[in-house]
Structure 1
Amino acid sequence: MNFAIYHQELTEMDEREQEERQREQTEQERTPSGHRQENASANVESETADPMDVDETPVEQFSGTVSAARIEAFERVFGQHMRTNRLDDISIADIETIVNNNGVGASRFSADEIMALLEKLQDDNKVMISDGKVHII
């Protein structure tokens, strides 16, 4: 039964791809050859430029205090990463990347804020900071 379903889906996909190729071919035939090269180079430029145009979420200015919600979010993401990957230590730079790329809120953690949070964890005897690395206790 799966073969019949998937085989049918594959043939429909092949038909759509073939129709798309035909449309592209007819569009190329309509345009003069000089324009085709310009359009192709314009498409390549726009394709290469788009991945670099990533909007960064703003980094909040660190005021010296951290809200309870941000402390909880940081500890959750940091702890989950350490447990999931079974790590005993991690560099501070890696921590910054992890907490800022794992959806901890609308604003990113600054380097100063991360250091303050790690120092709080160290004061609570949960981690030890040494030589740019954080060791789990």
Structure 2
Amino acid sequence: MEEREQERLVESERNRRVEQQTVRNGRVERDTTDMERTTTDAMDVDESPAAGESAVNVSAERVEAFNTLFGQHMRANRLDLINIADLEEVVNTGSDARYSRAEIMLLLEKLQDDNRLMIADDMVVHMIS
């Protein structure tokens, strides 16, 4: 219902602006700048990722590899806490396909959403599962 009302308001504003005409050199011209601006405003699309989505895409294989490297490092070193910069070094050591900081943050946020870890002040608290 709200979307329809908004569309009606946009349409009536567009019609009002079309009706505003100026007379130049004896002929009637429409004020197209207002019409174009209204059309553009009505068609603006938010291209930012929706909630839960990201511009970074990580394959299932890379997700699994990251989780394995992260978990093995934390267990082998009996760590509950690690700095994100240190974790970045751990998962990229000896790797041909390095993880970007954006990928790492996305993967950590997914693990946080699954209640497997907590991110606070550039630190990762690993939860034993």
TM-score range, shorter chain: 0.5 to 0.7
Q: Equivalent residue for 1:78? A: 70
Q: Secondary structure at the match of 2:124?
A: strand
Answer 1 or 2: which has greater strand percent: 2
Is the aligned partner of 1:114 residue 2:100? no
Amino acid at match of 2:88: E
Aligned counterparts of 1:102 and 1:91: Cα–Cα separation in 2: 19
Residue number in structure 1 paired with 2:118? 128
**Deviation digits for residues 33-63 of structure 1 (CA, Å, limit 9, x no counterpart):** xxxxxxxxxxxxxxxxxxxxxxxxxxxxx95
- The structure with higher relative contact order (CA 8 Å, sep 6+) is 1
The 8 Å contact of residues 77 and 102 in structure 1, kept in 2 or not, is answered as no
How far 1:92 moved relative to its partner? 0.2
Counterpart residue identity of residue 116, structure 1: L
- Equivalence map 1:79-98=2 (5 Å): 79-98=71-90
Amino acid at match of 1:135: V
**In the alignment, is residue 68 of structure 1 matched against residue 68 of structure 2?**
no
1:64, distance to aligned residue in structure 2 (A) = 1.5
CA distance in 2, matches of 1:82, 1:102: 17
Shift of 1:107: 1.2
Query: CA separation in 2, counterparts of 1:78 and 1:102?
Result: 14
Residues 118 and 64 of structure 1, relative CA distance in 2, 3 Å threshold: same
State the superposition RMSD in angstroms: 1.4
Identify, as 1 or 2, the structure richer in helix: 1
TM-score, normalised by the number of residues in structure 2: 0.55
Contact between 1:122 and 1:129, CA under 8 Å: does it hold in 2? Answer: yes
Q: Name the count of aligned residue pairs.
A: 74
SS at match of 1:128: strand
Mapped to 1, the partners of 2:88 and 2:67 lie a distance apart of: 12
* Helix, strand or coil at the partner of 1:129: strand
Percent of residue pairs identical: 57
Gaps of 5+ in 2: 1-53
TM-score (normalised: structure 1): 0.52
